[in-house]
């Protein structure tokens, strides 16, 4: 008897596709180009999660799309925080994995330009392989990379959840062409102003500082950022997108060659190899000499200021003896330093220094002619510790009371 063979085809998700890629497919289907604009509008203006809601498309085309692409959306599991402070969103993915995004209220720009709209902190992996000793995201290691659409949908899902909480769903008419997005425009076009009033973009800045090491999921990250940046997609300016890395030197060089002008933040947390080796295993692979050379290359290629993130951890890197090496590095790389009081993680021994010790560290750094800030806002506490809500939820699921 012949054994039957079962074929599985994994469909590409429509939110992993650029306008150009969709256009190529629509040409094969002999569909007019304006149909692509309509689909993009449903996805990125109306944040539609169901093919059947795309009522301006003929039913046959909807069926063709359904058979050719998946349309996955993140499922909200838990939400923490209030609207005027920082809010954390815990999402369940199709395979049951949990990830977090964090919405930070309007503030005087921590990384990019000032804005009266909000900043979204986005995850790029489930867990993290880099195992920094202070971080909740790395505690259980890496489960997997996020797919392009799982990165992209964090913006759409947060906005969906927020607009649901704020107002009734905007009504969209059949065949409504108002606010149609146009194709063939430069990717970096400031298009927010062109958006439909029914669907204003709530988020204006992205920080890729959620769970995971973004540069270890390089290709999916860059494709997702192309979509989040494009005028037909997320419409968030590249200069308002900050990528944070623990220091993957080769990928920093690769990023320098990308055409888009993203901002780069380095999680430094130690200005000497001795200190970094203690808390960041990645430093044994790419010690400071290699990391700083890659940063210099980035600076040379992009001409954009780099930010050093420096968590202040009591008894590890917050002593005044660390100021000189940190100031020397920052001056050499013309980097700005963001000092962040450590946010305690349950089960880990580390603590933040006293406020007066934090202030003294800042004063000493500024005294060495370094551009530096100390994050004091209470609302940002939970933002700094992405990975904790997932950890807590997984622990609760494993040991229900």
Q: Is 187 designated active site?
A: no
Q: Candidates 128-136, 164-172, 286-294, 369-377: pick the segment binding ligand SF4 (CB under 6 A).
A: 128-136
Q: Which of the choices ligand SAH, ligand SF4, none does residue 138 contact, using the CB cut-off of 5 to 8 A by kind?
A: ligand SF4
* C-alpha closest to that of 74 among 157, 185, 176: 157
* C-alpha closest to that of 339 among 376, 302, 367: 376
Q: Which of the choices ligand SF4, ligand SAH, none does residue 43 contact, using the CB cut-off of 5 to 8 A by kind?
A: none
Residue number with CB closer to ligand SAH (71 or 387): 387
Show the site string, 136-175: x = touches ligand SF4 by CB under 6 A, - = not: -xx-------------------------------------
In the set 135, 155, 181, 385, which binds ligand SF4 (CB under 6 A)? Answer: 135
Q: Can residue 292 be called a binding residue for ligand SF4 (CB under 6 A)?
A: no
Shortest Cβ 384–ligand SAH spacing (Å): 4
Q: Is 386 designated active site?
A: yes
Q: Which of the choices ligand SF4, ligand SAH, none does residue 123 contact, using the CB cut-off of 5 to 8 A by kind?
A: none
# of chain residues touching ligand SAH (CB under 6 A):
16
Q: Which of the choices ligand SF4, ligand SAH, none does residue 131 contact, using the CB cut-off of 5 to 8 A by kind?
A: ligand SF4
Q: Can residue 119 be called a binding residue for ligand SAH (CB under 6 A)?
A: no
From the CA atom positions of the chain, what is the Rg in Å? 22
Q: Which of the choices ligand SF4, ligand SAH, none does residue 275 contact, using the CB cut-off of 5 to 8 A by kind?
A: none
Kindly state the tokens that stand for 322. Answer: 């660390």
Kindly state the tokens that stand for 111. Answer: 């990384």
Q: Candidates 14-22, 131-139, 313-321, 362-370: pick the segment binding ligand SF4 (CB under 6 A).
A: 131-139
Site for ligand SF4 in 218-257 (CB under 6 A): 246
Q: How far apart, in whole angstroms, are the C-alpha atoms of residue 192 and residue 181?
A: 11
Shortest Cβ 211–ligand SAH spacing (Å): 7
Residue number with CB closer to ligand SAH (136 or 230): 136
Site for ligand SAH in 161-190 (CB under 6 A): none
Q: Which entry of 121, 132, 295, 386 is annotated as an active-site residue?
A: 386
Q: Can residue 100 be called a binding residue for ligand SAH (CB under 6 A)?
A: no
Chain-centroid distance of CA 192 in Å reads 19
Chain-centroid distance of CA 183 in Å reads 25
Residue number with CB closer to ligand SAH (17 or 217): 217
* C-alpha closest to that of 309 among 383, 395, 391, 245: 245
Contact indicator for 127, 143 with CB cutoff of 8 Å: yes
Query: 125: which strand partners?
Result: 145
Q: Which entry of 100, 149, 159, 213 is annotated as an active-site residue?
A: 100
Q: How far apart, in whole angstroms, are the C-alpha atoms of residue 106 and residue 90?
A: 21
Q: Can residue 131 be called a binding residue for ligand SF4 (CB under 6 A)?
A: yes
What are the two backbone dihedrals, phi and then psi, of residue 107, each rounded to the nearest 5 degrees?
A: -155, 165
Q: How far apart, in whole angstroms, are the C-alpha atoms of residue 195 and residue 179?
A: 6
Residues that bind ligand SAH (CB under 6 A): 134-135, 209, 213, 244-246, 267, 309, 311, 340, 342-343, 345, 384-385
Residues that bind ligand SF4 (CB under 6 A): 128, 130-132, 135, 137-138, 212-213, 246, 267
Active-site residues: which are they? 100, 386
């Amino acid at each position: 008897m012949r054994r039957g063979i079962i074929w599985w085809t994994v469909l590409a998700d429509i939110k992993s596709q650029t306008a150009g890629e969709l256009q190529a497919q629509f040409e094969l289907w002999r569909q007019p180009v304006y149909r692509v604009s309509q689909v993009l509008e449903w996805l990125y203006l109306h944040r539609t999660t169901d093919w059947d809601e795309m009522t301006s498309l003929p039913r046959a085309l909807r069926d063709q799309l359904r058979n050719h692409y998946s349309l996955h959306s993140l499922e909200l599991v838990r939400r923490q925080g209030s609207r005027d402070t920082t809010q954390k969103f815990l999402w369940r993915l199709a395979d049951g994995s949990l990830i977090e995004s964090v919405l930070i209220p309007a503030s005087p720009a921590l990384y990019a330009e000032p804005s009266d709209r909000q900043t979204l902190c986005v995850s790029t992996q489930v867990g993290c392989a880099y195992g920094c000793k202070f971080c909740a995201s790395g505690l259980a290691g890496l489960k997997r990379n996020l797919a392009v659409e799982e990165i992209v949908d964090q913006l759409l899902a947060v906005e969906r959840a927020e607009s649901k909480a704020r107002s009734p769903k905007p009504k969209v008419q059949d065949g409504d062409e108002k606010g149609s997005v146009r194709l063939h425009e430069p990717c970096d076009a400031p298009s927010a102003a062109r958006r439909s009033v029914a669907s204003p973009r709530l988020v204006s800045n992205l920080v890729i500082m959620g769970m995971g090491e973004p540069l270890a999921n390089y290709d999916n990250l860059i494709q997702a950022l192309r979509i989040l940046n494009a005028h037909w997609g997320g419409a968030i300016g590249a200069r308002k997108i900050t990528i944070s890395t623990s220091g993957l030197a080769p990928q920093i060089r690769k990023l320098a060659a990308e055409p888009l002008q993203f901002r780069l933040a380095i999680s430094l947390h130690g200005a000497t190899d001795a200190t970094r080796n203690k808390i960041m295993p990645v430093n044994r692979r790419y010690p400071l000499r290699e990391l700083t050379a890659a940063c210099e290359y980035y600076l040379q290629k992009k001409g954009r200021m780099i930010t050093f993130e420096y968590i202040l951890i009591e008894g590890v890197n917050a002593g005044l003896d660390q100021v000189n090496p940190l100031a020397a590095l920052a001056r050499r790389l013309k980097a700005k330093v963001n000092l962040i009081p450590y946010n305690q993680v349950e089960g880990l021994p580390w603590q933040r220094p006293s406020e007066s010790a934090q202030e003294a560290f800042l004063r000493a750094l500024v005294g060495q002619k370094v551009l530096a800030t100390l994050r004091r806002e209470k609302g940002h506490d939970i933002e700094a510790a992405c990975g904790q809500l997932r950890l807590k939820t997984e622990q609760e699921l494993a040991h229900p009371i």
